[in-house]
Structure 1
Amino acid sequence: MQRFFKSFLTISALSSLVIAPFIVSVGAASAQPVQAKKGTNASYVGAGFAAGVTNGGQSGDAATFGGNLTGRLKLGNTPVSARGQINFSDETSAIIPHVSADVGIAKNTNAYVGVGYQFVERDGKPTPSGNKNGVAVVAGVESEVGKNFLVYSNTTVGINAYKNSPASAISINGGVGYRFK
């Protein structure tokens, strides 16, 4: 019986020495704070509103309310995205392809700034972002709010975007997107 206890104690002690490092390392690993991933790498398409807040001072330059279609294609592991936006009114639309630099500002949330060119389908007809072709600067925020869904908002500035006027057009856009990648 004494020999049994001695063997039992020896096996228990050796087992404790072998298992203890695993238990300690698991405990240490779980004690480390989990860093929340900043930003989103979502590629998505979305739709929403577009509200022009400026006018060029000429006939056909009035601030216009309409809609927008937008899309983002994340380019690999870089902080760069290819984007497209269409701001439309009841008369015509402005197609705005642009490239953006993206910065993660919170969990699943990016801020971005981009530059591109605005192509107005019917020159002289109002869209929320002006009535003629020109350089466009876009700044915005996007955030994943659920599985495969995002909300986005941006401001688009059409540089010299009115016919017969040196004024720039400013539109405020927002909507809901669906993540496809």
Structure 2
Amino acid sequence: MKRLFKYIVIIYALSSLIVAPLVLSAGQAFAETKKGTDASYIGAGVAAGVTSGGQGINDDATFGGNITGRMKLGNTPFSARGNVLWSDQTSAIIPELSVDVPIANRTNAYLTGGYSFVEKDGSPTPIGNRDSVVLGVGVESEVANNFLVYTNAKVGLGAYQNSDASAVSINGGIGYRFK
């Protein structure tokens, strides 16, 4: 088993030496055309909790929906964001601030930080069953005139009652640009 692991590490290291120059040269050419998006939008889609708190009472992974909004903050790389993630029992309201990074024409990657306010503590949402600090990462892209698609992953730190477990939610949807 150790020998197999050693060979995998060697193959990975050698392939990295071959692939890295290709990726870096492609990235340099790509950097000349990237613009990102400055769209302020509102969108709706699905939200899937992929973790549980491990206690078995109102802390299972939960499927639901999301409403997401983004307001670009001037000429800065920051945006104010708001999310509502809901299940069939309650919802979580998550105000966030993000750092937006242009990665392609009309496309941003972003990192977020915020706080989740669960309306009914103890009831499951896709981001846990109690209030918590939330960190996230996502991508948004304008795909047509005034329309965007977005996807993100959020982690609610210690987001379950009676558990130190963190909640992970995967979200995605379609947005309409209003500015």
Give the AA of the match of 1:82: A
Matched, 1:50 2:76: no
Matched, 1:62 2:57: no
Partner of 2:142: 144
Considering only aligned residues, what root-mean-square deviation do their CA atoms show, in Å? 0.7
Alignment partners' CA distance in 2, 1:37 and 1:143? 12
Q: After TM superposition, which residue ranges in structure 1, 4 or more long, deviate above 3 angstroms?
A: none
Alignment of 1:107-146 (within 5 A): 107-146=105-144
Alignment partners' CA distance in 2, 1:77 and 1:38? 13
Q: Could you list the per-position Cα deviations for residues 95-146 of structure 1 after superposition, in whole angstroms to 9, with x for gaps in the alignment? A: 0000000000000000000100000000000000000001000110000000
Query: 1:37, CA displacement in angstroms?
Result: 4.7
Task: Normalising by structure 1, report the TM-score.
Answer: 0.80
Alignment partners' CA distance in 1, 2:171 and 2:35? 23
Query: 1:36, CA displacement in angstroms?
Result: 3.5
Q: Which has the greater radius of gyration?
A: 1
Partner of 1:36: 33
Alignment partners' CA distance in 2, 1:105 and 1:47? 23
Partner of 1:172: 170
Conserved? CA contact 2:34–2:103, under 8 Å: no
Structure 2 spans left out of the alignment, 5+ residues: 1-31
Alignment partners' CA distance in 1, 2:87 and 2:115? 18
Give the AA of the match of 2:54: G
Give the AA of the match of 2:106: N
Question: Alignment length, in residue pairs?
Answer: 147
Partner of 1:101: 99
